[in-house]
């Protein structure tokens, strides 16, 4: 009886969470669930990814990759989403590449530096991950903007913003959790678009663009914080004045 009750509770939760925003529990003790690609997909996609600089995020790259990995051309039918799975492979691998390199990326950022500096370094590092495919990235953005791929693309963007904040050691547990991630998602997406037209050496202009946007977001959140603090102070001071006058509140 007991397991069935647990099962019922879990099924109930699962049904309810179908529509809710996914943000699953991250365990340190128990192994992580397997990735979204299986071994065959992984083999084909990693081979196909090498053809992207030349052939772009296309079915052509996919079939060349399948051939390189020793599969038949027809095995690209495995990917129901076609070239989008190649884009998703790029997004997932680049996102997951941040965590192992965290120490190196943040090496010159001192421990005392605030979270925003670390967010900037990590975001820049992720943008540099687009370096090799940058000349093909506008096509990829066009595919990602197709209605059927928008939810998956936005989900990946949200995961990236969350990953960057987690690696930067952000510990917000209030609504700023949402505003920080939302803000970074918008800044990242616009910087990525800016980068596709950037011809400056080492993408220096993109970095300056990124830093300007982050500074604007920082000053905006600072202003909102100050106003909120002022309102809270005034309200509690007003209540205390009334209390000192003997009003029983």
Partner 1 sequence: MPPPRDLPRVLRTLCPARPHVLSPARNAFLSMTTFAPSRRCIATTAAAPNNAAPSTPKRKPLTKEQRDFLSSALRVNQTGELAATLIYTAQTPPLVNAHPHLRPLMAHMYEQEAGHLRTFNSLITKHRVRPTALYPLWSVAATALGWSTALMGREAAMACTEAVETEIGEHYNNQIRTLLEMFEQWEAEGYEVGDEFRDLIGTLRRIRDEELEHLDHAVEHDAKEARPYWLLTSIIRAGCRGAIWTSERV
* Contact stretch for partner 1 (CB under 8 A) within 8-16, 42-50, 92-100, 183-191: 8-16
Alpha carbon distance 247, 240 (integer Å): 10
| Under rule CB under 8 A, residue 8 binds partner 1 | no
CB of 2 to partner 1, least distance (A): 6
Among the listed residues 68, 152, 177, 205, the single contact to partner 1 using CB under 8 A: 177
CB of 97 to partner 1, least distance (A): 18
* Contact stretch for partner 1 (CB under 8 A) within 59-67, 110-118, 170-178, 218-226: 170-178
CB of 158 to partner 1, least distance (A): 10
| Under rule CB under 8 A, residue 20 binds partner 1 | yes
* Contact stretch for partner 1 (CB under 8 A) within 78-86, 148-156, 172-180, 184-192: 172-180
- CB 122 within 8 Å of CB 98: yes
CB of 132 to partner 1, least distance (A): 29
* Contact stretch for partner 1 (CB under 8 A) within 36-44, 167-175, 204-212, 213-221: 167-175
Residues at the interface with partner 1 (CB under 8 A): 2-3, 6, 9-11, 13-14, 16-17, 20-21, 23-34, 162, 166, 171-175, 177-178, 243, 248-249
């Amino acid at each position: 009886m007991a397991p069935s009750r647990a099962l019922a509770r879990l099924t109930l939760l699962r049904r309810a969470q179908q529509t809710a925003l996914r943000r699953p529990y991250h365990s340190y003790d128990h192994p992580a669930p397997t990735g979204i690609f299986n071994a065959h997909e992984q083999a084909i996609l990693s081979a196909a990814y090498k053809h992207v600089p030349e052939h772009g995020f296309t079915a052509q790259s996919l079939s060349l990759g399948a051939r390189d990995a020793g599969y038949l051309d027809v095995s690209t039918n495995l990917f129901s989403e076609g070239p989008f799975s190649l884009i998703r492979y790029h997004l997932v691998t680049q996102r997951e590449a941040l965590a192992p390199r965290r120490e190196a990326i943040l090496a010159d950022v001192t421990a005392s530096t605030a979270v925003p500096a670390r967010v900037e370094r990590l975001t820049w590092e992720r943008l540099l991950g687009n370096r090799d495919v940058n000349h093909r990235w506008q096509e990829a953005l066009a595919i990602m903007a197709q209605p059927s791929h928008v939810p998956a693309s936005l989900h990946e963007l949200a995961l990236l913003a969350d990953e960057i904040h987690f690696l930067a050691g952000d510990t917000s547990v209030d609504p700023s959790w949402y505003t920080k991630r939302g803000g970074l998602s918008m800044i990242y997406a616009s910087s990525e678009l800016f980068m596709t037209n950037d011809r400056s050496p080492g993408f220096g202009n993109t970095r300056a663009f990124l830093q300007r946007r982050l500074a604007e977001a920082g000053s905006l959140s600072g202003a909102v914080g100050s106003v909120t603090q002022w309102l809270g102070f005034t309200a509690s001071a007003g209540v205390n004045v009334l209390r000192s006058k003997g009003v029983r509140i």
